[in-house]
Amino acid sequence: MNKKLSKRLSACLDALSSLGTIADIGTDHAYVPCHGIKNGIIDSAIAIDVIDGPLERAKRTIADYGLANKIELRKGSGLAPLKVGEVEGVTIAGMGGKLISQLLLDSLLVAKSMKILVFQPQSGETILRKTLFENGFSITNEQLLEEEGIIYTIITAKPSCKNQDYSELDIIFGPILRQSIKDELFSKKWCQELVAIEEILNRIPEGHERKVAFNEKKQLIKGVLAGVNR
C-alpha cells in the first residue's frame, strides 16, 4: 500500500525531510507519517488525534503499511501527549489558525524543544503568525500551493532566541510571501480576498463600524499588490 498524498500534505512532509522523528497532530488516517517513512523522508513518528474514530483509521493504515514498529499512536489534544525533546519536528495541517495557536500555547515548552514546526492553517493565518512572532518563533519559510481550486498556505517555523521584529504586513501577508508580490498564486489569493471584501462591503449599510475596517484592509491589499506597501 502506498496512497498518494495530497499536494498540501506532501509539502508539509517535505518541510520535515531533514528530521528523524516527527509528530503528526490531528493525524486522522496517519497517511503523512506512513508515507514519510515508506519513502525515506523521516525515520519514525508519533501520530496523535483527540478522537477515537481517526485513531482507529490510523491504526488500520499503519497496519496496512506494516509500520507498527515505526509509528506510535497517542490520543490527546495537540502537543499535550508529547514530552519535551521527544520529537524533532511537528506538522499540524487542516486546522484553523486560532486552534493551532491555542494548541501551541497549551504546550509551549514542547513546541520550543523542536527543530522545525510546519503548519497548514485552513484559516486564521494572521492569528497564527502573530502567535509565533510573540512567543519566540521565527518563520523560516512560507509556501502557497493550489489544489482543487483552493489556495493553501504552508508555514514553516523554528524556535528563536531573539525577539522577532515584525510588522502588520508581516502578520497579514507573511514576512516571506509578501516579498514575492509577482508570484501568480500570491496575486490570485489576495485578488480573491478583495472580491470577498467587496461583497461584504456591498452588504454592510453605510455608517456601519465594520465598513471602515474593511475599507482599510481593501486599501492595504491593493497597496501590497501594487508594490507600494512592501
Integer Cα distance of 99 and 123 in angstroms = 10
Integer Cα distance of 84 and 81 in angstroms = 10
pLDDT of residue 18: 82
pLDDT of residue 227: 80
Residue 161 predicted with pLDDT over 70? yes
Size of the chain in residues: 230
pTM of the model: 0.93
CATH number for the domain whose boundaries are 7-165: 3.40.50.150
Mean of pLDDT values over 186-191: 95
Strand 44-49, strand 21-25: pairing: parallel
Q: Name which residue leads in pLDDT, 213 or 110.
A: 110
Which residues, in sequence order, are bridge partners of residue 45? 22, 71
pLDDT of residue 230: 58
Residue 3 predicted with pLDDT over 90? no
pLDDT class of 180 with cuts at 50, 70, 90 = confident
Residue 164 predicted with pLDDT over 90? no
Mean of pLDDT values over 169-190: 92
Residue 145 predicted with pLDDT over 80? yes
Three-state secondary structure call for residue 171: helix
Q: Are 93 and 29 in contact (CB under 8 A)?
A: no
Residue 2 predicted with pLDDT over 70? no
Quote the cell numbers at residue 7. 499536494
Burial 13-46 (b: 16+ CB within 10 A, else e): bbbbeebebbbbbbbbbbbbbbbbbbeebbebbb
pLDDT of residue 41: 95
pLDDT of residue 1: 58
